[in-house]
Chain A
C-alpha cells in the first residue's frame, strides 16, 4: 500500500501546486533567516551573514527545482509545460499549423476511411458470441488451392470418418419459391442444414424453437425457421407466426421458430431468409463431380485445429486413392468461424492509402525542418541556458505528437464525411441486400489514433534530432543570415521532397491503371451483344421437376409462353450467361486420341435451348444451332467454339467429329454439329482464349438455369410480363434476379468506378500534399538565398537568370522524384497484374500522362517562388545585411 500513499502524496502536488510551492518558499525563507541570525550571533556583519547563509545552504532556485522532482510527477508537469509551449508556438505560426493539420488530417482521413471499409467488410466480428471450437471446412485443390465447396460424396465421408468433431453440419443453399394464395410467388434464400447446427451455433431462437439432427430425415424435414429480417418483411413481424404453414416449392412446411436479428449475419454465409433441415436426395449422395455443399463442425473437447487438419488430410489422401478421377487433387482446409482473411487485393488498396499518409508525413517533416532552421537561434539560446538535449528533443517531439493528435481528430471528422459518401455508393452496389455499414467504431478510432501517433513520431523524430544537435556556440555567434542549417539537413529536406514526388507518381499511375484497365475491360468486344437483353434465374424444385423430361417440358412451356409477350423477340433458357464467368467446366477429349486421366483440357461448359446463339448475337461459323430434334433419346450433340475447334482439328473439319469426357470407361461421345465464335465477359482475367462447349438443355436437363429474352423495347419494361408468364406456367414458382444485362453490366461498372475513383481521390490528395511540399521547399530556398540573389542582381544578373536558377533547383528535385516514381509505377503495375491479369498491368501511356501531370504541377509549384526571387530588389536586400 506504500506506493499508493506515495502516489496520492505526489498527486497532491499537481492539484495543490500553488500552495505547496508557497509553503516551500516560506520554509526556505525561514531557514535562511535562521541561518542568517545564527551567523550574526557568530559575529558576522548582517549583509555578509545572509550571503554566507546562501553560500552554505545552496541557491533557492535549485532547492525548489530538486524539491519539485521529488514532490510531484515532474514528467507530467513538464508534459503540460511542453504542451502549453507547443500550443503557443503553433498559435504564433498559424500558417504552419493550418497546413500541417490539414495535410495530415487528409492523410489520416483517407486511411481511416479505407480502414473502416476493410473493417466493415472483413474485420467485423460475428454479431453474436463466437461459438467455441467451431470451424468452417473448405475443399481445396492441390494445384489451385482456394476455398471451395464440397461434393456430397466427399463431405459425407468426412462426416462419417473423422475422429475429431463432436458436431458436424453439412450446409446447402437451395433456393425455394414461396407462395401464398393471392400473392405472386417469391424466391427465398434458404439454408438447409443437417446435424445439430443451431446447438453448435449456440444462439437461441427469438420465437418458437429450432430444429436438430432428428429432423434432417426424409419425412421429418417439413419445418422451417425464419430469419428475423424475412419475418419482419414478409410477415410484418407477426408474433403468431410459429405454427403457421407456408407453401415452399409447392410443399407445405410448418414455421417452428424465428431467429434473433443478430443471427442474420451476412459475414459468414450471406444473409438468409429461412433455415430448413437438409435432406440430400439419394441420387446425389454418392456424387463426387459437382461441388456445392458447405460444412461447419465443432471440435471435440481436447482436439485442436491442428490435429483436426491432420485428420482431414489423412481422409483426403484416402479419398484421392479411392476416387482418383475426382479426388486426386482434393484437400481440406479449416478456418475458425468468424475469421475472415483480408484479401490480398485489399492490401494493395490499404497500401496505396498508406502512401498518402506517408506523403503527408514526409511533407510535415519537411515543414518542421524548415521551421526549426528558423528557430535554430532559439534552440541555441535554450541549450546555452542549460536545457538538456534530451529535454529539447522531448519538447519538440511533444509538439509533433500534439499536432498529430489534433490532425488525427480532424482526420476522423474527414473520415466521417468520406464514409458517408462511400456508404451511399456502397448502398447502391448492394442494391437489395443489407449493405455493410461503415461506422466509426472503437477499432476504427483505435486505428486513427495509431495512425496519428505513428505519423507524429515519423515526422517529428528527424527534425527534432537535427534541432537538438544545434551547437549553441555557432548558433549564437551567427546572425539570422547564417542560420540555414548544415548541408545534411538540406539533403534530408530534398530527399523528403523527392520521396513525396515519387510516391505521388506511383499513386497517380495506380489510379490510371485502374481507370484505363477497367474501362478497357468493360469496352472489350465480348463476342455477344449485351443490349436489349433481360434475364432471370430459376430454381426448379426437385420434387416436382425430377429428371430431364420434366425440366425440358418446363423450358419449352416457358419459351412458348414468352413468345406471345409483346416486346419479346425471342427467348431461350441456358445454364448460365457469360457475365461474371463460366461456373461449369468439364474435361474434353477428342475421339481417336489417348489422353492420360487428369491431362485432358478443360472447357467452359454451358447448356442451352435452341436459339441461344441468335438471342445473344453469337455467330455460328460452321454447322448449325441445336433444334427441337436434339432431345433426350436422340444422338448426343455438342457445339464448340472456334478456339476448341482450332485446338482439336487445326486443319480438318470439326463437324461430325466426336468429343467425350475424361473417364475412359464412360466417354459419352457427343457429335460436333456447330462451331461458334469465342465468347468472353467483362473482367475475364484469363488472358488466353477459353475453350468452350455448348450442350442442348433438352439432353442434359438441369433445375438451376437462366432465361434470356431479346427484346425490341427497353428490357426492364418487360420484367413484369416475365413474372406473369412464369406464374401462368407454374404459380408456385418464382423467377428471381430479374435484370437487364445492361443493368448487370452497370453494377459491375459501378463497382469499378468506386474502386477507381477511390484510388483517384487518394492520388489527388497525394498530389496536393506533395506539390505543397515542393512549393514549401523552394520558397524556403528563396528566402535563404535572398541575399545571394540580391548580390547576383546587383552584379547584373537578369530576371531570367534568377528565375532559371531557382526553377533549376525545383526541376532537379522533380526529375529525381520522377525517375524513382516511374520505377515505382512499373513495380506497382507488375504487382497489380499478378492480381488481375489481363485487366491491370503495364501501361506506358498512363505512366507518361501521370508524369506529365506531375511535372507540370511541380513546375507551377516552383514557378511562383522563382518569380518572387526574380523580383528581389538588390538595394533592399543588401541594406538589410
Chain B
C-alpha cells in the first residue's frame, strides 16, 4: 500500500469516478480499488470522500446507482454512467487535457 497520500484537486475525484465507470458498472469498493490501480497505486480514496462524491454525481444525474448482486454473490449498489454522465466525461476530459497541457507548458517554460 502506498503510504504517500495525494490531496486530490477539487473536482478531480469526480473526473476519476466518471472515468473509472466508463466501461462497467461498479460498486463503491470496486471503484476505490479501480482508482487505486488506475493511479498506479497513488490515490487511495477514503469512504468519507467517495460516497459524498457518488451522491453528488447522482444528484447531478451523471451516474445512477442500483442495487444488484456482485460476482461474489454479494448484494451491493452498482453505479453506472448515464448518457449525461458520458457527455460530461467527454467535456471534463477535454477541459482537463487543456488545463494540464497548459500547466505543463508553464512549468517547462520556467
B-binding residues in A (CB < 8 A): 2, 5-6, 9-10, 23-24, 26-28, 30-31, 33-35, 38, 56-60, 62-63, 66-67, 69-71
Give the complex CA separation of A38 and B1 in angstroms: 13
Complex Cα distance, B55 from A63, in Å, reads: 12
From A2, A31, A38, B60 is in contact (CB under 8 Å) with A2
Residues of chain A lying within 8 A (CB to CB) of residue B75 = 26, 30
CA distance A67 to B30 in the complex (A): 19
B74 is an interface residue with CB less than 8 A from chain A: yes
In the complex, which of the residues A9, A33, A38 contacts B58, with contact meaning CB atoms closer than 8 Å? A9
Cβ < 8 Å to A, chain B residues 32-76? 32-33, 44, 46-49, 51-52, 55-56, 58-61, 74-76
The CB with the most chain A CB atoms within 10 A, among B51, B75, B77, is that of B51
SS of A interface (majority): helix
Q: Is the CB of A27 within 8 A of B48?
A: no
Query: A30 with B29: in contact, given A2-B61, A56-B1 (CB under 8 Å)?
Result: yes
- Separation of A28 and B32 alpha carbons in the complex (Å): 12
Among B46, B55, B56, B74, the residue within 8 A (CB) of A57 is B46
Q: Tell me which residues across on chain B come within 8 A of A35, comparing CB atoms.
A: 29
Contact of B59 among A6, A24, A26 (CB under 8 A): A6
CB proximity of A419 to chain B, nearest CB, Å: 50
Taken together as a complex, chains A and B put the C-alpha atoms of A70 and B49 apart, in Å, by 11
In the assembly, what is the distance between CA of A34 and CA of B75, in Å?
11
Taken together as a complex, chains A and B put the C-alpha atoms of A57 and B44 apart, in Å, by 8
Given A5-B59, A67-B55, A69-B52: A34 in contact with B74 (beta carbons within 8 A): yes
Q: Which residues of A contact B29 (CB under 8 A)?
A: 30-31, 34-35, 38
The residue on B at minimum CB distance from A60 is B47
State the Cβ distance, B70 to closest chain A Cβ, in Å.
Answer: 8
- Chain A nearest CB from B53 CB (Å) reads 8
Specify which of A2, A9, A23, A57 is in contact with B47 (CB 8 Å cutoff). A57
Given A31-B27, A57-B32, A62-B48, 4 more A-B residue pairs with CB atoms under 8 Å apart are: A9-B59, A26-B75, A30-B77, A63-B52
Task: Output the least CB separation between A202 and chain B (Å).
Answer: 53
Q: How far is the CA of A56 from the CA of B33 in the complex (A)?
A: 12
Q: Of all chain A residues, which has the CB nearest B31?
A: A31
Kindly list chain A residues whose C-beta atoms are within 8 Å of the C-beta of B28. 27, 30-31
Q: A23-B77, A27-B28, A70-B52 are in contact. Are A5 and B61 (CB under 8 A)?
A: yes
* Measured CA separation A323–B47 after assembly (Å): 92
- Give the residue among B46, B47, B51, B58 with the most A Cβ atoms within 10 A: B47
Pick the residue among B52, B76, B77 that contacts A67 (CB under 8 A): B52
Can you list 10 A-B pairs, Cβ within 8 angstroms, ordered by A? A5-B60, A6-B59, A9-B59, A30-B75, A34-B27, A35-B29, A58-B47, A58-B48, A63-B51, A70-B56
Contacts of B49 in A (CB 8 A): 66
Complex: how many Å from CA A5 to CA B32? 27
Query: Which chain B residues lie closer than 8 Å to A24 at the CB level?
Result: 51
Tell me the nearest residue of chain B to A61, going by C-beta: B48
Given the known A-B contacts A27-B28, A56-B1, are A63 and B76 also in contact in the complex, defined by CB atoms under 8 Å?
A: no
Residues of B within 8 A of A31 (CB): 27-29, 32, 47
Q: Which residues of A contact B44 (CB under 8 A)?
A: 56
Closest to B27 in A: A30
- How many chain B residues touch A (Cβ–Cβ < 8 Å)? 24
CA distance A559 to B87 in the complex (A): 103
Question: In the bound complex, what is the Cα–Cα distance between A340 and B49 (angstroms)?
Answer: 61
Q: Chain B nearest CB: distance from A48 CB in Å?
A: 13
Query: Of all chain B residues, which has the CB nearest A59?
Result: B48
For the complex, what is the distance from the CA of A31 to the CA of B70, rounded to whole Å?
A: 12
In whole angstroms, how far apart are the Cα atoms of A26 and B59 in the complex? 19
Q: Which residue of A lies closest to B36 (CB)?
A: A56
Residues of chain A with a CB closer than 8 A to B59's CB: 5-6, 9-10, 70-71
Question: A65 — nearest CB in chain B belongs to which residue?
Answer: B48
Q: Of residues 7 to 31 in B, which have CB atoms within 8 Å of A's CB atoms?
A: 27-30
Q: Are A28 and B74 in contact (CB under 8 A)?
A: no
A3 nearest CB across to chain B (Å) = 10
CA distance A6 to B61 in the complex (A): 8
| CA of A27 to CA of B74, assembled, Å | 11
- A680, B98: Cα distance in complex, Å: 94
- Bound: A70/B13 CA distance, A: 15
Q: How far is the CA of A60 from the CA of B46 in the complex (A)?
A: 11
Residue contact B47 to A28, C-beta cutoff 8 Å: yes
Interchain residue pairs A-B with the least CB separation, the first 4: A34-B29, A58-B46, A70-B52, A58-B48
Residue of B with least CB distance to A1: B61
Which chain B residues (71-98) contact chain A, with CB distance < 8 Å? 74-77
**Contact between A28 and B61 (Cβ–Cβ < 8 Å)?**
no
Contacts of A57 in B (CB 8 A): 32, 46-48
Name the B residues within 8 Å of A67 (CB-CB): 51-52, 55
Residue of A23, A34, A59 with most partner-chain B CB within 10 A: A34
Q: Are A30 and B52 in contact (CB under 8 A)?
A: no
Complex: A23 Cα to B65 Cα, angstroms: 11
How many angstroms from the CA of A62 to the CA of B55 in the assembled complex? 15
A631 to B: closest C-beta gap in Å: 99
> Which residue of chain A has the shortest Cβ distance to B45 in the bound complex?
A57
Q: Smallest CB–CB gap between A42 and chain B, Å? A: 9
Measured in the bound complex, the distance between the Cα atoms of B54 and A66 in whole Å is 12
Q: Which residues of B contact A71 (CB under 8 A)?
A: 52, 55, 59
User: What's the least CB distance linking A44 to chain B, in Å?
Assistant: 11
Which residues of the partner chain A approach B27 to less than 8 Å between Cβ atoms? Answer: 27, 30-31, 34
Nearest CB on B from A58, distance (A):
4
A818 to B27, CA, bound (A): 74
A10 to B56, CA, bound (A): 10
Q: Which residue of A lies closest to B57 (CB)?
A: A70
With A and B bound together, what is the CA distance between A34 and B33 in angstroms? 10
How long is the Cα–Cα vector from A236 to B102 in the complex, in angstroms?
90
Which residues of A lie under 8 Å from residue B58 when comparing CB positions?
9
Rounded to whole angstroms, the CA-CA distance of A6 and B60 in the bound complex is 6
Q: How far is the CB of A768 from chain B (nearest CB, A)?
A: 54
Q: How far is the CA of A567 from the CA of B107 in the complex (A)?
A: 116
Q: What is the distance, in angstroms, from B76's C-beta to the closest C-beta of chain A?
A: 5
| Chain B residues with CB below 8 A from A23, complex form | 77
Q: Which residues of B contact A62 (CB under 8 A)?
A: 48
Q: A799 CA to B82 CA in the complex, in Å?
A: 83
Structural contact, B77 and A27, CB atoms closer than 8 A: yes
Whole-angstrom CA separation of A57 from B33 in the bound complex? 11
A38-B49 Cα distance, complex, nearest whole Å: 20
Chain B residues within an 8 Å CB radius of A58: 46-48
A27 surroundings in chain B (CB, below 8 A): 27-28, 51, 76-77
Which B residues lie within 8 Å of A2 (CB)? 60-61
Question: B77, A28: Cβ atoms under 8 Å?
Answer: no
A294 to B13, CA, bound (A): 76
**Smallest Cβ distance from A27 to chain B, in angstroms?**
5
Known: A30-B27, A30-B74, A34-B74. A70 touches B48 (CB 8 A): no
Interface hub of A6, A26, A67 (most chain B Cβ within 10 A) = A67
Contact assessment for A63 and B47 in the assembled complex, using a CB-CB cutoff below 8 Å: yes
Q: Closest approach, in angstroms, between the C-beta of A74 and any C-beta of chain B?
A: 12
Query: Closest residue of chain A to B56, judged by CB?
Result: A70
Tell me the complex Cα distance, A5–B58, Å: 10
| Assembled-state Cα–Cα distance A745/B74 (Å) | 95
CA distance A30 to B79 in the complex (A): 14
Q: Are A33 and B56 also in contact (CB < 8 A) when A24-B51, A27-B28, A57-B47 are?
A: no
* Chain B, Cβ-Cβ closest to A23: B77
Residues of B near A60 (CB, < 8 A) are 47
For the complex, give the distance between the alpha carbons of A9 and B60 in Å: 9
Least distance between A24 CB and chain B CB atoms (Å) = 7
With A and B bound together, what is the CA distance between A9 and B57 in angstroms?
11
A23–B55 Cα distance when bound, in Å, is 12
Give the distance in Å from the alpha carbon of A643 to the alpha carbon of B56 in the complex: 90
Chain A residues within an 8 Å CB radius of B32: 31, 57
Given contacts A27-B28, A30-B29, A63-B48, contact A70 B55 (CB under 8 A): yes
CA distance A31 to B48 in the complex (A): 12
Q: Which of B1, B28, B46, B59 has the most CB of A within 10 A?
A: B59
Name which residue of chain B comes closest to A68, CB basis: B52
